Structure 1
Amino acid sequence: MFETLAMIGKGGYGQVMKVSHKTTGDVFAIKKCQLRVLTAKQRENVLKETENLIKLRSEYVIQYYYSWIQYNCLYIQMELCFNGLIHLIKTQRKLFKMYKTYDYYISYDIFKQLVESVEYLHKNNIIHRDLKPDNVLISMPYIYTNHRYIKLCDFGLSKEVKALSDEYNQRSAKHTADIAQYMAPEAQFGTDYNHLIDVYSLALIGAELFHFDSDYIRDGVIQTIKTNDKELDNKLSEIYGLLLSMSVSIYTESYRKIDWRLRPECDLINNLVLDDTFYIAKQGRNNENCTIIKYIINEPDKGKFYN
């Protein structure tokens, strides 16, 4: 039915392949998990991922098509995405040596879409618990005007809850230690946590997007933003303050020890904090921004003209 074109990813649970349908020629991504080599908990996680992809069919999540088990392997057929956020961040930093306004447009647009995607999960009582640049993808039709191009993936560690107000303990979710770099400290240190661990992870991803020091965000360190654009400085300072509020914790090395329960919800971040005014007035249209993203990832030499 499918012809394998390339292997595009590999993880602890299996590998992801780029394939084409032998009849139609359509291209997809297929995740292959060899069930016989997985532990019982790992098998539970990959099956949970399939269940959540079926449940979360939306523009915010990578599109699920079909899944099947053959020769003791689980296959998950999904949309083929253009690239991952981790690659864009690395290339963006190489391309934009000095932070410029266009760089802000790109970072802002991605971050806003990312927060909206996590807000969608929380409205459906899903905690992702594994948010990191590796699990954020850029969809293929990114050149369309006003198209959502940020998609969440990898729901193997996600948790469905009865109510977002419920709290859980790390001892009942030891597998979350796999994401220590982006994981909220209340989950790392075995205390109670809830969906706000996703907000903490968003703060650290945001720090990378806006070229801030992630350690400063973790430790609650106040930083003065200086570029050659005063208006841009003001907006970046607001974003920096937002990220600090999203990462508050009693475990910080800063004197600012604040209960993690005071982190803002995603809907508050989107509706009250992430103001589109500066962004829209400067950018003009979304498809231009997407074109820049295309150049950053695929044709960095052309992207240099925006620097």
Structure 2
Amino acid sequence: MDIRYEEPLYVDELSLHTVRVLGQGAFGSVTLKAHPGLGLYAKKTSSIRLKENLKKELRIMLYFRNHPRIVQASSDHVHLGMLLKDCHIYMEYASQGNLEEAISSFGGKPLPEHVIGRTTRMILQGLEALHTHGYVHCDLKPDNILLFPSTSFGEPWDAKLADFGLSKEPNTFHVLKFAGTNMYMPPEVSEDPEGLVGPALDIWSLGCVVFEMFGGKSMEMDVGVTYVWKLEQWISPVAIDFLRRCHTWHPWNRASATELLNHPFIMQRVLRVPLLIPSPPERKQYLERPLFTPRVPGPLPTPIGPRKRQQEAAAVRQEAQGSAVEDQSTVEQNDVDSKKSSSILS
């Protein structure tokens, strides 16, 4: 089912003020804008010569309006700058940043596997929507995967696909040499740069992203622009099989997004380990104290807890038994005395 927008989207530019710059690259910049009553927007600005790329990006976002794995547009048209030297569009603000920033925060260490699996599933859901409708992202990488507050309790974020300026639209001619970043491109780009773009390109790029989430490193090969990815630590067998299905050398043999959504790596229920958050200085000092403290001479402490209660109960039982013996001896003595007195009286 096609996802279409129903009512026009509108941003009141005159009421916006700049908060800060979110990012800047070769194709333009992204700034955070605030509206006093309507909240925050991300404003993406490009040179006027890249207007067609920006228009294509906006078209794709509008086509997939309301899809939970595609970044949403906030305005339904491309805005022109004051001097017609640049143009810009508005979209929703990703308050959690992007996946590249999240990976960097771990300092080269892998993310928890359940976080990798859940993030990969959300990326695949976005890719499945694109591929089903004839689109190919063509520049899938951690920078272009934006993170939002999670809608599931206990999860760190929700992921959405962004930056469709290089994407292939349905029924259009698009060759591999016009695809995105070399480090995330498949081997067919170097073997046949004039080859046509297909969904298999995004699947290879997805494998690179998963490698990176696991702490993997890319190495450039001697020939062409192909990079290979390697891991320095152990990962689960299902994760290894998932990566193999993404990085099959021939594009025809790579799994589709729909097939990968049913892979055990995506479907498995992994033990959830909390994200490693640096400890504050006070907690770090506490953890660095000796585990055992020196023994202080003196009398042993009074038993507490269940042991003390057991001892108290035993003492009560012993006291009760003693009183019972005393009562019995008293009764017997009274019987003897009564017999003696009765014999005397008789």
TM-score category (smaller protein): 0.7 to 0.9
More strand by proportion, 1 or 2? 1
Q: Secondary structure at the residue paired with 1:111?
A: helix
Give the residue type in structure 2 aligned to 1:266. Answer: A
Q: What is the TM-score with the length of structure 2 in the denominator?
A: 0.65
What is the match of residue 75 of structure 1? 88
- Pair 1:65–1:168, CA change in 2 (3 A): closer
Q: What is the TM-score with the length of structure 1 in the denominator?
A: 0.73
Tell whether the 8 Å contact from 1:131 to 1:198 is kept in structure 2 after alignment: yes
What is the match of residue 181 of structure 1? 183
What is the match of residue 320 of structure 2? none
Give the residue type in structure 2 aligned to 1:87. Answer: E
Q: How far off is 1:267 after superposition?
A: 0.5
Q: Secondary structure at the residue paired with 1:120?
A: helix
RMSD of aligned alpha carbons:
3.1
State the structure with more CA Rg. 2
Ranges in structure 1 where 5+ consecutive residues have no aligned partner: 227-232, 250-258
Confirm whether residue 265 of structure 1 aligns to residue 269 of structure 2. Answer: no
Confirm whether residue 200 of structure 1 aligns to residue 213 of structure 2. Answer: no
What is the match of residue 254 of structure 1? none
C-alpha distance in 2, partners of 1:214/1:21? 41
Q: How far off is 1:242 after superposition?
A: 1.6
More helix by proportion, 1 or 2? 1
Q: Which has the higher contact order (CA 8 A, sep 6+)?
A: 1
- Pair 1:146–1:167, CA change in 2 (3 A): farther
C-alpha distance in 1, partners of 2:241/2:97? 29
Give the residue type in structure 2 aligned to 1:150. Answer: A
Q: Percent identity?
A: 22
2:47 to 34, 38, 60: 34
- Pair 1:225–1:2, CA change in 2 (3 A): closer
What is the match of residue 150 of structure 2? 142
What is the match of residue 65 of structure 1? 74
Tell whether the 8 Å contact from 1:169 to 1:187 is kept in structure 2 after alignment: no
Q: Secondary structure at the residue paired with 2:42?
A: strand
Confirm whether residue 11 of structure 1 aligns to residue 11 of structure 2. Answer: no
What is the match of residue 11 of structure 2? none
Ranges in structure 2 where 5+ consecutive residues have no aligned partner: 1-14, 221-225, 285-346
| CA deviation profile, 1:44-100 (whole Å, cap 9, x unmatched) | 212111111111211111111104224223221111102110011111245x5xx6x
Confirm whether residue 87 of structure 1 aligns to residue 87 of structure 2. Answer: no
- Pair 1:11–1:183, CA change in 2 (3 A): same
Q: Secondary structure at the residue paired with 1:20?
A: strand
- Pair 1:275–1:179, CA change in 2 (3 A): closer
Tell whether the 8 Å contact from 1:111 to 1:209 is kept in structure 2 after alignment: no
Q: How far off is 1:112 after superposition?
A: 1.7
Give the residue type in structure 1 aligned to 2:181. Answer: I
| CA deviation profile, 1:133-169 (whole Å, cap 9, x unmatched) | 1101101x3264398710111000001124xxx9964
